[in-house]
Amino acid sequence: MAYIEPTAADLKARYPAFAAVDDATIEYWLTDAHRYVDQTWMEMDYGPALIAVAAHNMVKAGAVGVGGGDIGGMAASGVTSFRSGAFQAEFSDKAVEKAIGDDWDSTTYGAEYLRLLRRNKMGMGVTAPGRVPPYCWADGPFPPC
């Protein structure tokens, strides 16, 4: 099977908060996401990872608001209090620090990318002393399996 490039419609289907963003903007950010995801990723994670990176970068660039305007979205964005008449809002300090941070965990989309990244690009594993990892090679330092 071949790697399938995600489209703006795919991103909008996965993340409805981007429904109002024009397709050209989404296509730009999907192309830009190739700096982080390539075809060495598992095929099933390739498209979702590109979409997550594009969504994260659009939020960080201001192409779409974080909250989406609904109460659930506002709560996820760190709003702890809200009043409509003579507008008043209070934000969680922790949520504000996270939102203005430059790390992947500052958006739910970036956090999804990190989960996919760990599954696809996990580095060396650590084992307890005296334990042999479950690997074996016919010609390697460990006896054959």
Tokens found for residue 20: 């109002």
Q: Which residue has the tokens 């507008």?
A: 87
Q: Kindly report, residue by residue over 34-45, the tens digit of the pLDDT.
A: 999 999 999 999
What is the share, in percent, of the chain residues with pLDDT greater than 90? Answer: 48
Is the pTM higher than 0.75? no
Q: Kindly report, residue by residue over 2-26, the tens digit of the pLDDT.
A: 899 999 999 999 999 999 999 999 9
- Three-state secondary structure of 85-140: CCCEEEECHHHHHHHHCCCHHHCHHHHHHHHHHHHHHCCCCCCCCCCCCCCCCCCC
Residue 72 has pLDDT above 60, yes or no: no
